[in-house]
Structure 1
Amino acid sequence: MRSIVSRLIYSKSSISRLYTSGLLRNGRLLSTDSNHVDEPFKVEEAETLNVPPPPSDKLLVLGGSGFVGSHVCKEALEQGLSVSSLSRSGRSSIRESWADKVAWHQGNLLVPDSLKDVMNGVTAVISCVGGFGSYSHMYKINGTANINAIRAASEQGVKRFVYISAADFGLVNYLLQGYYEGKKAAEAELLSKFTYGGVVLRPGFIHGTRRVGSMKIPLGVIGSPLEMVLQRAKPLNQIPLVGPLLTPPVNVTTVAKVAVRAATDPVFPPGIVDVYGILRYGHKG
């Protein structure tokens, strides 16, 4: 028994000496029994794994072959997003390299079946769908078509939905009643279905180079100077009756830039963004 206890005491004191005989300092083992400093511990370099980058957000642009929609598609591609588009005409007539990178789909938002497959895997939607004509036609294109898309996106679990609406132009609203009533109905549906991820952009006149067939119409010749003047005259917008007509125009590139940001930035506040908000977000870079 005494022999066993002696061995235990010896073993314990040996462990204690081993512990106190070395101190780890600055990555080196420093012996307290001598002035000898051991070499640093050698650690084998870990093998580098080729981890693929996370998949980019998949953006669906409704009306991507149109004036605003094509600029939205181009801007989204420049941001590194995966972009698809659904419109009645299908592929855009633009013959530029970026257009080949868009997955073009032909469909009609007034036919719900057009939305069954195109929403698969989509994380965000930007709708640029709108049009003019008779009262019923304008209401269906600006209202019903977008409402169908909003409901389909909500059912599919899409995270964010951006709708390109229009500024309030006062008297003009009465002349284009179906247009504005349709847009208001779509706005209400969006804010109801996408409480935390729905954004309504309300630009005024959108200017830039517009294509009509093979022709290019430089709307910026008029729109750009007006934008510079009227954005500094915001108080005039409050004048009864004529005030809304002084809403500043916005460049189509700015609208596209803000729309893509609203669709992809999780901290972009939901709700309605008026023309002055669009200009402000556009200037932030």
Structure 2
Amino acid sequence: MASRMIRSRLSLSRLYAMAGSKNGRFLSTESNKVDEPLKVEEAETVEVPPPPSEKLLVLGGNGFVGSHICREALNRGLAVASLSRSGRSSLSDSWAENVTWHQGNLLSSDSWKEALNGVTSVISCVGGFGSNSYMYKINGTANINAIRAASEKGVKRFVYISAADFGLANYLLKGYYEGKRAAETELLTKFPYGGVILRPGFIYGTRRVGSAKIPLGIVGSPLELVLQHAKPLNRLPLVGPLLTPPVSVSSVAKVAVRAATDPVFPPGIVDVYGIQRFSQQMSR
């Protein structure tokens, strides 16, 4: 009986202690004084570095399409670099001062690969005309070299400015289109989740040839308005592909930069109608 009373008193004292601890205070068994609540020291403030900025490398950034892509990327706050055979652009526009210009040839040595250091995305505007063998090299081999090097460097996204299928023109410019398609195949293989292929037709805008400006939009803009509503005619044999509507260089630049930096942009091939659609969505 005595042992049960002792155990019950011990249990009550434990309950009182537990009740006191819930209020953050502890009752002293030797006096009626209430102890001070426990002091909690402030946690140390840790400075978290900002997320790394996107760095874009434009292959052929001093050309007609490439220069518009560089400017569009700068307007979106990206760090922009360009790689081309001639290096720095001849443009005197103020935005060109904010581009890091690299000189290199994608067909020759590997020295140009240093331009990929720290790059998170690449847009290639490399292409050209000439003999069939030359066109295959510049449109195919050069871009394939760039795609493989970017993949090895861990680049996240790669956008390739290809060309629409013009049917009969494919046979007349065999090396051009075979090179383009070879580069497309390589891109979809190396970048299955971050590779985007844009296939515009005729790209219009103001071209600079030396000091002269050629306003291609005078012809291109009206044609785009007319032919963008003639999509069913595009399926006609032989002549159908020739009715592919032109697209403005600003639209191509906007979609290319978004495709290179937006992780949810769908990978794969985007035809001229897709370029128009994405561009219109971004302009709203």
**Pairwise same-fold verdict (TM > 0.5):** yes
Match of 1:230 among 218, 227, 233: 227
Q: Is the Cα–Cα contact under 8 Å of residues 136 and 178 in structure 2 kept in the other structure?
A: yes
What is the aligned partner in structure 2 of residue 33 from structure 1? none
Q: How many Å separate the matches in 2 of 1:111 and 1:96?
A: 30
| Runs of 4+ more than 2 Å apart | 1-20, 43-53
Q: Closer, same or farther in 2 for the Cα pair 1:216/1:45, shift >3 Å?
A: farther
**Letter paired with 2:141:** T
What is the aligned partner in structure 2 of residue 187 from structure 1? 184
**Letter paired with 2:16:** S
**Letter paired with 1:94:** L
| Number of matched pairs | 266
Q: TM-score, normalised by structure 1?
A: 0.85
Q: Is the Cα–Cα contact under 8 Å of residues 123 and 159 in structure 1 kept in the other structure?
A: yes
Q: What SS is found at the alignment partner of 2:259?
A: helix
Q: Is the Cα–Cα contact under 8 Å of residues 198 and 271 in structure 1 kept in the other structure?
A: yes
How far off is 1:77 after superposition? 1.0
Mean Cα displacement is larger for which, 113-122 or 143-152? 113-122
1:186-205 to 2 correspondences below 5 Å = 186-205=183-202
Q: Deviations over 1:31-53 (max 9, x none)?
A: xxxxxxxxxxxx99989776543
Q: TM-score, normalised by structure 2?
A: 0.86
Match of 1:98 among 90, 95, 98: 95
What is the aligned partner in structure 2 of residue 28 from structure 1? none
Q: Is the Cα–Cα contact under 8 Å of residues 139 and 178 in structure 1 kept in the other structure?
A: yes
Q: How many Å separate the matches in 2 of 1:67 and 1:244?
A: 24
What is the aligned partner in structure 1 of residue 35 from structure 2? none
Q: Closer, same or farther in 2 for the Cα pair 1:51/1:16, shift >3 Å?
A: closer
1:153 and 2:155 aligned: no
Q: Closer, same or farther in 2 for the Cα pair 1:47/1:104, shift >3 Å?
A: same
**Letter paired with 2:260:** A
How far off is 1:120 after superposition? 1.3
Q: How many Å separate the matches in 1 of 2:127 and 2:21?
A: 78
Unaligned runs of 5+ in 1: 24-42
Q: Deviations over 1:46-104 (max 9, x none)?
A: 89776543221111100000000011111111111111110011111111221111110
1:34-45 to 2 correspondences below 5 Å = none
What is the aligned partner in structure 1 of residue 117 from structure 2? 120
CA-atom RMSD in angstroms: 2.5
1:1-285 to 2 correspondences below 5 Å = 8=10, 11-12=13-14, 14-15=16-17, 18=20, 51-285=48-282
